[in-house]
Structure 1
C-alpha cells in the first residue's frame, strides 16, 4: 500500500482525469508512483500540458500510461526545449496511446463513479483493476485500433495545447511530420494551430496536402484545402495537388468541373499559374480529351500565362495521338515563338515529326530532327523512317540519304521500312542505278530480312533501266528465300522483259507463273500482248486473247499494235470479233479503223 500525502499529486489527477481524489487515498498500483513522481516535476512544463490534453482526448489510457510516463521521467535529466526533443516526446505520447483510444469513455466512467471525491482503498483498487483489465482487453485489438487511426478525420478532430507559439517553428514541425508520412500527427498539429489562432506557412500546408494525397486521404485533404482557402494560404502548387488527388479518386470529369468552378471565381483564378494549367492539361491528356484541352490552352493564353516545356509536350503528344496534326504543329510553333528549347522532351519531338509527316511539312520535320541532334537527343528509328519517307516524297533524296547515314551513328539498326523508304526515294528521284546499287549493298547486310516490298521496289528500278537479267535474278532469290511471289512481282519482271525487247523470255516467265498457280491479271496480259506484237508473234497474241477473259483493254491494245505494224486485215478481223462479243472499242480504236476504211475506199 502506498499513501500519497502530496496535494500537488491530487491536483495532477484532478486535472488529468476529470475527477477529485482525496490526498489520503491509498494507491496499490505502481503506475501511480510513476505518475506522481513524473508529474510532480513536470506539472509546469510543456510535456505536462500535452499529456493532460492527450489523456482528455483518449490518447494515453490503461497500460499505455506506463510507457508514456516512463518516457517523461527518463527525459527529465537531459531535458531541453529544442524542437527535435519536443517532437520526439510528442511522437512517444501518440505511440503510447495508439492502441487504447477506444477505451476513453469506459475509463472516464470509471473515474466519474465517485462523485464526491471520496472513497477508500477498496474503491481505488477496484477502479484500477478495471483499468488493467481494460488494457489487457485492448491489447488484443490493437490491429483494428491502428486501422481506425487512419480513417478520415482521425487527426483533425484532435487538438493539443501548444506551449510553443512560434508559427515558423510549428510549421517546421508540421513539415517534418508530413515528410516522414506521420499524417495523423501532422493533421492534429495543424488543427491545433488553427484552434489556437496560429497561421502555418504555405510550405507546411502544401506538405500536408502532399502527404494526404500519398495516403489516399481525400476527405482530409479537402478539409485542409478549405482551411487554406479561408486563411488565404494558397498557391498554384496547392491547387495542383488537389486537382491531382480529385482526378485520381473521383475521376477526371470531377477534377475538370472543380477547375471550371475555380476559373469562374476571380479570387481562385488569381492563384492559377503554369503548374495548375499543366496539371489540368495532363488530366485531359490521359483521357485523350483534346477538345477540352484546346479550350484550356486558349484560356491559358487569354489569362497571360506563358506555357512551359511540359505544357507544350503534353499539347503536342495529345494532339498527335488524337490525330489533330495541324493543331499539334501550331502548339510546336508557339513553343518556338516563346523561345523554349525542347530540352529532354524527345516524346514531343517524335510526335511533331510524325505530325509533319502527315501534313507533308518536310522542312519543319528536318528542322526538328536537327534540333534533337543539337540538344543531344536521339531520334528513334520510327521518326527517322518517317523523315526519310517524307523527304523521298518531296524529291529530297540527298537529305534522305544523310538521315539514313545518321541512323547507325545513333545506335539504331535499319529495318525493312528504312531501306524501302530510301529505295523509293531514289526511285522517285529517277536515280534507278543508285537504287539498285543500294539494294545490292543492303542484301549483304547481316540484318537484312528479305521482303516483297524491297524486291518489288528493286524490280521497278530494273524495269526502268531494262535490266531484265537482274530482274530474273531477283525473282529467283525471292522464290529461293521462301517469299510468296505475287502477281505484281511477276508483272514487273515481264514488264522488264518487255522494255528490253525480250518477248520469248516474257512468255517463259508467263508459263512459269501459271505453273506456280499464280493467277495473271489484265496488266500481265497487256504486257505480253505488247511484247508479242513488237516481235511479230501474232499466233501468241491470238492464244493470249483466247485464254484470257474478254477485256476491252486487251482488244484495244492488240488492234492498236496491229495497225501500227500495218496488219490492217488482222486488226479488222479482231475489231469485228470484238464487236460480236459485245465489247465497245474506245475512240482511238474506232478512229484507226475509220482511217483504214477510207484508205480502202
Structure 2
C-alpha cells in the first residue's frame, strides 16, 4: 500500500460497507486502521484490491480502474436519491487545498456522489476541506433538492467551525422551501441560542429570515428579527429596509413601515421605486398627506414614474385633508404620466369636493365622468352624486339618477333610496318621498331606521298624519322613530296625537329621550293649569257685583 504513493494522481476505492459504525472501535486491529475507522481483515483487502501493476493513471478522481470491482449500475434518479456514501477513497493526495479545489469542481459540475465520497474520504483521513469547497458542495446538494444530505454537510461544517453567513442563508432558504417557513423559524431560533452560531450571523442571514417571515406576513417575527439584528450589532442593508417596509405596509403596520423608512433614509440608503410607492400608501392611510406629497415629488425629480395606485393614494390623501387644488394638480400629473383615471381616482376627487361642500362642482364632475366612455360608474359614485343632490335639495335630479341606476341593472341598497328621500325632505316634497318609499318596498328593498326617520320628518312637515301612524305601525318598535314623531307633532300643534303616541311608546317599553320628555311635561303642565283654574261665567260675576253693592 505504501508503494502506491509512487503512482501519481491515483485513487483506490473500498466499499463503504466495510466501514465501522459510528462509535465502534476494534481494539485488536492496528493503530493505523483504528485511526482511519476501518474494520477490515487482510484477506478481504487482498480480494478487493487488485495488483497495483494493473492500475492505470488518471488525473480525474472520478476515473475507476478496470481492475477494481465496478459499482452496480443504478439509474441516475435512484443514485441521486440514495446518497449514503457507499465507497471511500484511499487518497494519494494529501494536500488539503488541492482536494478542496477538486470538491469545488465536482460541486460546480453537479457530480454529487463523487463530491460526497471525496469529502468523506478527507474526513476519514484527518484532512479538512476549506470553507469555499464546503459551501460549494452545500449549494450543490441544496440545488439538487437533497436537503437531508445538505443538512449533514452543514452539521459537519458547524463541527469544524467553518461556517459563514452564506452557509446559514443557504440552509435556511432550503429548509423554507422543503419544510415550510415555520420549520425555518424554529431552526433559526435554535441557532440563536448558540452563542458561537449567532455571532456568525450577518445582515444577509437576517435578510433571509425577514424574507421568510414576509412569505407568511408574520410582521411580529419580522419586528423581532429587526430588533435582534440591532442587538447583535449588525447594520442593515438597503435590502433589509426594503423588506421591512414592504412587509409592514402589507400587514397594515404603517407606523413601523414609516420608522423603517426613516431609518433607511438616515442610513443614507437610496430607496427604490417600490419602497417609495409603499410608503406613499402608508402615509395616505395615516393621514400624512404632506409626507406623501413630498415622496411623490421626490420620485418625479429622480425620474421615477409613480404607478396609478400611488397617484390615487396621494389624491385621496390630499382630498381628505381639504387640499382640493393640490389634489387636482396631482390628477393632471397622473394623466401626463399616461395613467388613465379609474374608479378610485373619481372616488377620491368626488369625495374631496363633497367634503369641501362644493356640491355643484361634484355634480359637474359626475356629469363629466358620465360623458367619458372609458370611465365606469359604480354604485359609490352614484351615491356621492345623490348626497350632493340631497344637500342642494335637487329632488328631481336625485330621482332621475335613481332611475338611471335601476336602468343600468345596479343592485341598489337602502342607502341610495334614503338619499333620494332626504333630497325630497330638503325640498319639502312629502308626496314624492312617499312614492319613492312605496317603490322601494315594492322592489323588496328593506327600509332601515334612517329611511323611516327621514320619511316621518317629511310627512310631518307635509301634515300627512295618517302616513306617519302607518309608518310607525309597519316599522319595528324603535324609540328614535317615536321620539321624532312626537317632537314633530308637538311643534306642529298636534298635542293630542302626540300624547297618544307617547302613551303607546311607554306601553311598548320604549324610553323617550330628554327632549321628548320635556315637551310632554310642558304640555301636560298647561293642561293641568287649565283644569285647575276656570274663570267664572258672566252671570255669576253680575250676581257677585250686586251683592257687593248691597
Could you say which TM-score interval applies, normalised by the shorter chain? 0.7 to 0.9
Residues 1:407 and 1:147: Cα distance change in structure 2 (over 3 Å): same
1:300 aligns with 2:229: yes
Q: Does the CA contact (< 8 Å) of 2:106 and 2:115 recur in 1? A: yes
Following superposition, the deviation at residue 478 of structure 1 comes to 0.8
Structure 2 segments unaligned to the other structure (5+ residues): 18-49, 531-550
State the shift of 1:301 in Å: 0.2
2:83 is matched with which residue?
A: 152
Shift in Å, 1:237: 0.8
Summarize the alignment of residues 480-495 of structure 1 with structure 2, pairs less than 5 Å apart.
480-495=407-422
- Helix, strand or coil: the match of 1:143? coil
1:574 & 1:299 partners in 2: Cα distance? 73
| Structure 1 residue 574, shift from structure 2 partner | 1.6
Distance (Å, rounded) in 1 between the aligned partners of 2:320 and 2:6: 87
Residue 449 in 1 paired to residue 376 in 2?
yes
Q: Deviations over 1:471-506 (max 9, x none)?
A: 222112112111133332222122223323444443
User: Residue 546 of structure 1 is aligned with which of 470, 490, 499?
Assistant: 470
Is residue 2:98 matched to residue 1:100? no
Q: Is 2:499–2:520's contact at 8 Å kept on the other side of the alignment? A: no
Which residue number in structure 2 is paired with residue 46 of structure 1? 8
2:236 aligned counterpart, secondary structure:
coil
Match in the other structure for 1:174: 103
Task: Indicate the larger mover: 396-405 or 418-427.
Answer: 396-405
Q: 1:562 to 1:330 in 2, by over 3 A?
A: same
Q: Deviations over 1:347-381 (max 9, x none)?
A: x5555455445544444444454555556655555
Once residues 546 and 460 of structure 1 are traced to their aligned partners in structure 2, the CA distance between those partners, rounded to angstroms, is 27
Q: Is 2:16–2:85's contact at 8 Å kept on the other side of the alignment?
A: no
Select 1:575's aligned residue among 498, 501, 506: 498
What is the DSSP-based 3-state SS (H/G/I as helix, E as strand, rest coil) of the residue aligned with 1:46? coil
**Ranges in structure 1 where 5+ consecutive residues have no aligned partner:** 1-10, 17-42, 59-64, 76-85, 103-141
1:470, CA displacement in angstroms?
2.2
Retained in 2: the 8 A contact 1:150–1:184? no
TM-fit CA distance, 1:459? 0.5
Q: SS state of the match for residue 389, structure 2? A: helix
1:421 pairs with 2:310: no
CA positional deviation for 1:317: 3.6
Paired residue secondary structure (2:74): helix
SS at match of 1:582: helix
1:393 matches 2:320 = yes
Q: Give the corresponding residue for 2:256.
A: 327
The residue that corresponds to 1:21 in the other structure is none
* TM-score, L = length of structure 1: 0.68
The number of residues matched between the two structures is 486
**Equivalent of residue 272 in structure 2, options 323, 330, 343:** 343
Q: Does 1:282 align with 2:211?
A: yes
Equivalent residue runs for 1:138-537 within 5 Å: 142-144=73-75, 147-148=78-79, 151-154=82-85, 157-162=88-93, 165=95, 167=97, 170-191=99-120, 200-229=129-158, 231-249=160-178, 252-343=181-272, 346=274, 348-349=275-276, 351-371=278-298, 379=306, 381-409=308-336, 412-532=339-459, 534=461, 537=462
Change (3 A) 1:372 1:213: farther
Q: Supply the distance in 2 between the matched residues of 1:445 and 1:97 (Cα, whole angstroms).
A: 86
Checking the alignment, whether the CA contact within 8 Å between 2:489 and 2:497 is kept in structure 1 is no
CA gap of 1:145–1:98, structure 2 versus 1, over 3 A, is: farther
- Distance, in Å, in 1 between the alignment partners of 2:221 and 2:65 is 48
More displaced stretch, 276-285 vs 300-309:
276-285
1:83-123 Cα distance to aligned partner (Å, 9 max, x none): xxx4xx444x1598999314xxxxxxxxxxxxxxxxxxxxx
Q: Distance in 2 between matches of 1:581 and 1:187?
A: 92
Question: How far 1:267 sits from its partner (Å)?
Answer: 3.4
Aligned to 2:546: none
Contact 1:506–1:528, Cα closer than 8 Å, also in 2: yes
Q: Separation in 1 of the partners of 2:262 and 2:61?
A: 56
Distance 1:205 1:494, change over 3 A: same
Q: Is the 8 A contact 1:555 1:574 kept in 2?
A: no
**1:20 matched to which residue of 2?**
none
Equivalent residue of 1:101, what SS?
coil
User: Comparing 517-526 with 428-437, which one deviates more in the overlay?
Assistant: 517-526
1:298 to partner: Cα distance: 1.5
Corresponding residue SS for 2:380: helix
Partner Cα distance (1:397, 1:175) in 2: 64
Contact 2:393–2:426 (8 Å) recurs in 1 = yes
